Amino acid sequence: MLILFYLFCQNVFAAAYDPKLTWRVLETPHFHIHFHGGEEQLAQELADMAEDIYVEMSTELLWEPDQRTQVVLVDNTDSANGYATYLPMNTIVIFVTAPEGDSTLSLYENWNDAIFTHELTHILHIDTVSGIPKSFRTLFGKIIAINGLAPGWVIEGQATLQETRHTNAGRGRASIPDMIKRVATLEDDFPPLGNLEGFQAKWPRGNLRYLFGQDFMQYISDHYGEKVWTDWNHQYGGGIPYLLPDKQSIGKPLHVLYEEWKSNTHARYQKVRTNIEQIGISEFSILTSPEQNCMGGRISPDGGRLVYSCNDPETGGSIYLANSDGSEAKIETRRAFSKYFSWRRDSKAYAYSGSRIVNRFNLFNDVYLRTISKKTQMLTQGKRARDPVFDPSGKHLLVVTNEAQNNQLATLTIDQTLTQHTNNTDHTQYSHPRYSPDGTRIAVSAWHNGQRDLWLYTPQGEAVRRITHDHA
């Protein structure tokens, strides 16, 4: 039965990727790194760092798997992500696209380091087994993994904790995750202990287990010792599923620790609120329904209209058009969603990007042109282009393209001609470019050499100067 299950899983994994891809394998002492054509540089970079990360992580977590871990690098999506599984074998899958500037993942020095540390933590954590369950694993194989039945906030919180602890960035230091936690805390929406899993429709949904899970685990580690979670893994991995070893590993019941952490978090963010109130708070009004998750708002050049997109449980993703004050909002395009819009100078059309399935196996971004109340035209097809912005003449669009963890700046014309201006191979990332009024400069959020900042570029893709130099 186990052999049949193994073969079934192998077929499922194989069916997930485009059969036209040609695969190769790099072998290290503890990993088989599988990569396809175009990922040679990424695979070598990961192979060069993987063993150092393994030694550091396995030493801290006091566990080493008995077989090599399979690592799959695949470039079939324009979203940054990855996952780890222990069945049928320890496997890490990394979708090699790096995070965009507005992502909770956007603070990193080396994306391969950050995501590999996170996913390897899952492998070492879930693979940990001791006591009687270890004897059962000898008989029944890897299906015996008690830590795989740990609460989601422990599994994801611990991996997020390690990505922060063992790199110089990570979500535990990032401003966007901190903003999410701060708003939830100060608006009396702090998640109860029973809902740290994030199984809820409202924002931040599944991010709870990553962001609040990490924060809770970091608090406990800071106050009760850095090794408590290593001990927790071994205690839980040798015990009974769902019987949490809080008293054995930490010395206090989990609900008591939760109240301590909640109080500490409230005090921490109240200081931030007080400092901001002393400076002065800008007045604002909310234009959309609290049930909707909306973004990308842009006012037309003539000041008359506002375009934005929203996701909500009833209608899914839709693009809305409203008066500039948000009134009389109507759905302009259904089954569409974008984080970024750019108006043409005549205010009669706007461009946006959205993801779609390409050739059955890929989820890529493409650029669209919407003429108000008329039609939507697809300007790219499978070109992995996003963040379109009209030049001052309204005749061309500047876009960001993505491939093999490298972003490029390119010009797109209405006749769908795409001209690439850069040739980055150092994993440079761009987000949200904007033209200067005279069209001679571009301001863009760019990740270079371990840090994301605002930069000025020429329209031809040449860097002029860095504007900011911080981790905000």
Q: Name the pTM for this structure.
A: 0.94
pLDDT for 79 equals 96
Buried b (16+ CB within 10 A) or exposed e, 156-187: bbbbbbbbbbbbebbbbebebbbebbbebbee
Helix (H, G, I), strand (E, B) or coil at 51: helix
Q: What is the three-state SS of 216-275?
A: HHHHHHHHHCCCHHHHHHHHHHCCCCCCCCHHHHCCCCHHHHHHHHHHHHHHHHHHHHHH
Helix (H, G, I), strand (E, B) or coil at 322: strand
428 within 8 A of 448, measured Cβ to Cβ: yes
d(CA 428, CA 445): 11
d(CA 382, CA 385): 8
Q: Which among 465, 461, 458, 463 has a CA at the least distance from the CA of 419?
A: 461
H-helix or E-strand containing 453? strand 451-457
384 within 8 A of 78, measured Cβ to Cβ: yes
Strand 376-378 relative to strand 385-390: parallel, antiparallel, unpaired? unpaired
pLDDT for 8 equals 40
H-helix or E-strand containing 47? helix 40-61
Each residue's pLDDT, cut to its tens digit, for the chain (472 residues) gives: 333 334 344 444 556 899 999 999 999 999 999 999 999 999 999 999 999 999 999 999 999 999 999 999 999 999 999 999 999 999 999 999 999 999 999 999 999 999 999 999 999 999 999 999 999 999 999 999 999 999 999 999 999 999 999 999 999 999 999 999 999 999 999 999 999 998 887 778 889 999 999 999 999 999 999 999 999 999 999 999 999 999 999 999 999 999 999 999 999 999 999 999 999 988 988 999 888 889 999 999 999 999 999 988 777 899 999 999 999 999 999 999 999 999 999 999 999 999 999 999 999 999 999 999 889 999 999 999 999 999 999 999 999 999 999 999 999 997 889 999 999 999 999 999 999 999 999 999 999 989 999 999 999 999 999 999 987 6
pLDDT for 15 equals 62
pLDDT for 354 equals 95
H-helix or E-strand containing 113? helix 111-127
Buried b (16+ CB within 10 A) or exposed e, 311-323: eeeeeebbbbbbe
d(CA 306, CA 95): 34
